[in-house]
Amino acid sequence: MAFWSAGPSRAKTPTAIEGLRARYNARFERMGPAPADISFTPDQMGPLHGEWARGAQSDPDRMILYFHGGGYVAGSPATHRALVGRLVEASGIAAFSLRYRLAPECPFPAAVRDGVDAYRALLSKGVCAHSIVLAGDEAGGGLAFAVALAIRNGGHAMPGAVAAMSPWADLSLSGHSLLASRKADNILGWETLFLCARNYLCKSNPGDAYASPAYASLRDFPPVMVHAGANEVLRDDASKLGDRAAEAGVSVSVEIYDGMGHLFQAESGRSEARASLARLGQFVRARCKAMAA
C-alpha cells in the first residue's frame, strides 16, 4: 500500500521549501571537495545549462549525461561536483552535469523534458547515442531511467547504458525498506521524500512511469547498473529497477552494499565508496562505446 495523500501540502509555501532545500544542502556538504585533477566548465545544451567535468585523460569520444540528486527540489551541478568528479576519475570519461529545472517552481514532468532535450541536443551535435551513458544519484538516478524511458518511447536512438546510485524510482513511497531502514538510514527519511514528492508531482499520479520508473517496462533498454546500500530507505527502489530490467530481458547488475546507507559513495574515505565507484567506472567504460571516426 502506498503512503500517499492528494490533500494540500504545507511544503509548497516558500518557508517550507526553503527549509527542505536547506536540509538537502547540509547533506550535500558531506561529499567534500571535488577531485583536484578534474576541471569544471560551464556550458549549454540548447537552452539548458550545466557544466562539463573533465580529467586530463578523459576520453573525448565518450560521455556521461549526469543528473544530480536532491529530491527534485534541490541540488545543482555545483553541489555534486565531488561525486561527479570521482565518477569521471573512475571511468576516464567526461560528464555533462545538467542543471534541470526544480520543483515546486517547475513541477513534473519538467525535469524529464529537460533531460530528453539535453540528450537530443547532444545527438543534434553529431554525438552517437551509444557513446552516451545516462547516470545519476537519488532523484537523479530515477530521472536517468525516466529520461531513457522517454527516449525509447519517443523513437530516438537509445544511449549506451544507464547507471544509478541510490535511485529514487518509486514516488508512491511503497517500498518496505522505507520503514524497515528508517532507523538505520540517518541521511534520508520518509518525511523528506514525502515532501519532495508532493512538491514535484503536484496533482500528477505518483505511479506515472515517467515519475516512478520502478513501474515502467524497461524493454529495449541498454545495459543497466544500479548500486545502493543495504541500510538505506531506497534499497527497494534499486531492487525494483533490477526486477523491471530482468523481466524485460535487459542486461542488469544491481549491487547492494552491506552495512551502507544512502548514497554512501559521497563519503570518499569509505572503502565501499571507492569499490562502488570503481565498479561503476568499469561499467561505464565497457558499455559506453567510442564514437566512430
Which domains, from first to last, does the chain contain?
A: 10-287 (3.40.50.1820)
Torsion of CA 114, 119, 123, 126, to 10 degrees: 100
Cα gap 134→280, rounded to integer Å: 12
Contact 160, 225 (CB under 8 A): no
Contact 227, 138 (CB under 8 A): no
Taking only the tens of pLDDT, the chain with its 293 residues reads 343 433 444 444 445 999 999 999 999 999 999 999 999 999 998 889 999 999 999 998 999 999 999 999 999 999 999 999 999 999 999 999 999 999 999 999 999 999 999 999 999 999 999 999 999 999 999 999 999 999 999 999 999 999 999 999 999 999 999 989 988 998 999 999 999 999 999 999 999 999 999 999 999 999 999 999 999 999 999 999 999 999 999 999 999 999 999 999 999 999 999 999 999 999 999 998 776 54
